[in-house]
Amino acid sequence: MKRTTSIIIAILISVSLLAQESKGVIFESGTLSEALQKAKKNKKSRNLVFLDCYTTWCGPCKYMANNVFTIESVGNYFNDNFVNVKIDMEKGEGIELAKKYQIKAYPTFLILDSEGNEVNRIVGGGEADQFIEKVKRALDVNSTPKKKREVYDANKTFENALTYINALNDSYLSEELNSFIETLFPTLKIKERYSEKLWPFLSQVLSLPNCKLLDIVIADKYYADQYLSKKQLDEVICSSVKSQIAQYVSGKSENNDTIAIKKNINVLLLLANNDPTINYYVKIYELYSQNKFEQISKLFDANSIMRMSYYDRVNVERLYINTKNLPKEAISKYFQNKASYLKSQYEQATATADKYMK
């Protein structure tokens, strides 16, 4: 009798636990392909898949899994409207899915149709009610980047372009965003090119290696200064030219036109203000173009570089390490000298500390 009672209690506990687990979002245990197939046959919803793109190290991903997707109201909404699946973007099929869907931030939640086409995405989590509202807005066909692009293509105004740009930015679709700006920028009026609304996105594109817009911006400099802060424009142009040099000396440049690079170096020297890294960039470019690799190595004196600010030091060291065809022995020697310098600084600091402890 006791044994029967124990079995009944165990069954009741199991049923209770199962009921508790089923209150939240039910995620399929299979692959995305299997979830898509299930969505095609799903008669109670719109044949959509909700894909939770997560990583094991992502704190907000864990919060959503443990504190939001376990809530009954959230479970009711997602289980009624989607076939739900969650996939680690750094393991198995997740690696290719991250590339396919351009997953750049975590957590990202994709809404897919039953063919695997992206309907929309939500980047970042939120509390239960707030997150459900985000998903509902994402299901509005008029809110998707695709729809915003259609609106722009039908009426190519600057405002429609900005709306599409912001939609891409909100969805972290950086590749599409950068490509669109590179195509759009030459077609704009000067006041549109350098408006405060476009500038945050343009400055990001200018920082990319082999940016095709740099020459236009340099040519526009006189007019651009009338719309933007001269300081912020100068800094972005200098950063872009430095990036161009870094790409060239690393052997990765798509543009090996040394005449064009020299022209931009003249701009760099003209605009740079108290930037201690400039001389390194210019000298390395000149020596690299003459295949004088040993002389490049001699530029890197640990005692001098270690007196620079942390950001500038890292900037110069990265340039040095990535310069193509530099002897490995020379790079090793620099870091050995850096280690000796840091050891000396440590010993001096320790001695001073000990002095004041006595």
* Residue type at position 28: E
Query: Which of 56-65, 250-259, 290-299, 339-348 has the least mean pLDDT?
Result: 250-259
Strand pairing report for 48-54 and 108-113: antiparallel
Which residues have a Cβ under 8 Å from the Cβ of 249 and sit 6 or more positions away?
284, 285, 288, 319, 322, 323, 324
Phi, psi of 89 (to 5 degrees): -75, 0
pLDDT mean over 208-220: 88
| Mode of pairing for the β-strands spanning 48-54 and 83-88 | parallel
- Locate the domains of the chain by residue range: 23-140, 144-187
* Other beta carbons within 10 Å of 258: 12
Tokens of 153: 């293509």
Alpha-carbon span 117 to 270, nearest angstrom: 49
For the record, the structure tokens of 4 come out as: 């029967």
pLDDT digits 0-9 by tens, 71-86: 999 999 999 999 999 9
Sign of the CA dihedral with 183 first, then 184, 187, and 190 last: negative
- pLDDT at position 262 is 85
Q: Please report the sign of the dihedral spanned by the C-alpha atoms of residue 161, residue 162, residue 168, residue 174.
A: positive
Give the pLDDT of residue 257: 67
Are 93 and 32 within 8 A, CB to CB? yes
* Eight-state DSSP code of residue 91: S
Q: What is the pLDDT of residue 14?
A: 46
Which CATH code for domain 23-140?
3.40.30.10
C-alpha pair distances (Å), 357 with each of 183, 345, 351, 353: 64, 18, 10, 6
Question: What are 303's two structure tokens?
Answer: 């005692």
User: Does pLDDT of 126 surpass 50?
Assistant: yes
Average pLDDT value over all residues in the chain = 88
pLDDT per residue as tens digits for the range 2-24: 455 444 444 444 444 444 445 89
Average pLDDT over residues 314-326: 93
CA separation for the pair 97, 32 (Å, rounded): 9
Tokens of 163: 């709306």
φ, ψ for residue 121, nearest 5 deg: -145, 155
Dihedral over alpha carbons 151, 153, 158, 159 (to 10 degrees): 0
- Quick one: the chain helix, strand, coil %, rounded to 5? 65, 10, 30
Q: What are phi and psi of 38, to 5 degrees?
A: -65, -40
